[in-house]
Amino acid sequence: MLKLSIPTWIANAAACLTGMYGDVTHQAEAADCSRQTVYDHAQKVQAAVEAEHSGGPTRAELIQETQDLRQENARLWDWLAQTIEFPPAKQHEFTVTATAMGLSLNQVLVLLALILGAQARPGRSTIQRWIKAAGQAAERVLKHLDGRCKALVLVGCLDEIFFHRRPVLVGVEPASMVWFLGQKADDRTGATWSKALQNWTALEYVVADAGTGLQAGIAAVQQQRQKEGQPALENGLDVFHTTQEAQRVLRLIWNRVDRLWEQAEVASRRVAQAQQQGQDARGVAVAARSAWTKAEAAFQQYEQSEAGWKIAHAALQVFRPDGQLNDRSWAGEQIALALPQLSEREWSKVRGFLQTEATWTFLDRLHRQLQEAEPEDELRGALVRLWWLRRQRPRATTVGAIAGASHVAHLVHQVVCHQRDAHGHASYRQVARVLGQTVRASSAVECMNSVIRMHQARHRTLTQGLLDLKRLYWNCREFRGGKRKGRCPYEHLGLKLSSSNFWSLLQEEMITALDEAKAKAKGKGKAIAA
């Protein structure tokens, strides 16, 4: 706010610029200000007049321009609040992580264009270079981590998957779901599998299908360990593929029943049509009876096969239908009952699986581990029964319904176990651990194969570096649900890491590799200079 009025400013300027000697003093006294204030007012008034008549923007124009700039500044701040920080380092992390998750190069380019715009996103060659470097870094990281996992991977599910007719050897630890083997190979012979398994010296038990090359590789490792006096490698034939083959045969037989049944119905309609038209129906009636005889025989064969497979399938379970623990003798009796009912030619493959010694390896291993967990027979049997009862009780009942004995059977049996051994909680945990981790099928590796197939569908080529990148991401990825929720496969395996973050492990390795490359280049430069 001005202390002196505008006319006073003008009078001060006039006294200074056009007045006579002494006018400045008289004006200062009249305005009640100092002489210096009169001189200052004269300079400011003169500058204001010169600025007004110099041809530049007027004050009103400057005020309008200032308001426009303020509005533009506000809009820019609003836009900035809605944007994300996406520097080149984040673009690099996004590209590598998306590729490891299974996105193709084109999909990554589309997503980067949505975030940054088509002009600002990195080029295809840049992304390819990032992915290649990340794959090389993943190979070095996995080499270190695999060395630390060797002593922890005791059970493995093995299988192969093909990409453009080239096999990828896959191995998964079922309890933790650690993908410990992901090797692109030229073939799937026994020698190739044997070489891939030799590094995993702590393996005690493997489950695999009946593939010729895979079984030959396992047999070669078993022989080598026997010669070198190392612990034996147990081999279990995959129950999953046995069941899958049996279901295929049952569908085949049922399709034959369905086809013969339709033919018999057609023959019956012909008989009815001939009788309606007053024609001789004896010939078509004979054909209809023959058709129905074949259909009934096929149906009886299906019922016989289905009953036989139900008996055989029960023998492949951990527990019998009555809740007792399965064993070799009972399973052998059931198979002996089932085989005569699976005598048709279509069942030859299933019969071979059921008569293979490796099919029952899981039972031998189960009973041996249970005996190690609890040596006393009676207490061990009671704890196994308690484990089974806890999983058989109904999960929920309708409101007001009277609960049956199955709701409290496990509680009664728990009291019985407590009377046998008041400190049996530790024994029960060990028994439960053995039963819960009994591996009969290679379901874990089939799960991994389904993940790899989704990745294959998006990639034109699958290099070893890309495979290593995906394997490292899987092993560091935290499970979002299920019994493994909240931790990654490496953590479930028991591997102690300073950080299980996928990008942190890769970034550390890439920085180390870059430093080594710089040091190597610097050393070459000094050598050339010398």
Q: How confident is the model at residue 168 (pLDDT cuts 50, 70, 90)?
A: very high
Tens digit of each residue's pLDDT (9 = 90 or more) over 25-36: 888 888 888 888
State CA 42 to chain mean position distance: 81
**pTM score of the predicted model:** 0.76
pLDDT at 74: 85
DSSP 347: G
Distance CA 309, CA 307 (A): 5
Q: Which helix (H) or strand (E) holds 170?
A: strand 166-173
How many other CB atoms sit within 10 Å of the CB of residue 326?
20
Q: Which residues have C-beta within 8 Å of that of residue 380, sequence separation ≥ 6? A: 370, 371, 373, 374, 427, 431
Rg of the chain over all Cα atoms, to the nearest angstrom? 42
**β-strand 178-184 against 166-173: which pairing, if any?**
antiparallel
Average pLDDT (268-276) is 90
**Can you count the helices (H) and strands (E) in the chain?**
21, 5
Tens digit of each residue's pLDDT (9 = 90 or more) over 282-310: 888 999 999 999 999 999 999 999 999 99
Distance CA 353, CA 331 (A): 14
Cβ proximity of 141 and 509 under 8 Å: yes
Sheet holding 178-184, edge to edge: 178-184, 166-173, 155-163, 205-208, 234-237
DSSP conformation letters of 371-412? HHH---HHHHHHHHHHHHHHHHS-S---TTPPP-GGGTHHHH
Indicate if the pLDDT at residue 1 is higher than 60. no
Tens digit of each residue's pLDDT (9 = 90 or more) over 222-265: 999 999 988 899 999 999 999 999 999 999 999 999 999 999 99
Average pLDDT (466-478) is 93
Tens digit of each residue's pLDDT (9 = 90 or more) over 431-452: 889 998 899 988 888 888 888 8
Q: Which residues have C-beta within 8 Å of that of residue 352, sequence separation ≥ 6? A: 210
Closest C-alpha to 332, from 305, 297, 356: 356
How many other CB atoms sit within 10 Å of the CB of residue 74?
10
Q: Tokens in use for 284?
A: 């078509």
pLDDT at 398: 46
Q: Which residues have C-beta within 8 Å of that of residue 31, sequence separation ≥ 6? A: 4, 8, 11, 12, 37, 38
Distance CA 179, CA 171 (A): 6
Q: How confident is the model at residue 400 (pLDDT cuts 50, 70, 90)?
A: very low
pLDDT at 60: 79
Cβ proximity of 291 and 259 under 8 Å: no
DSSP 55: S
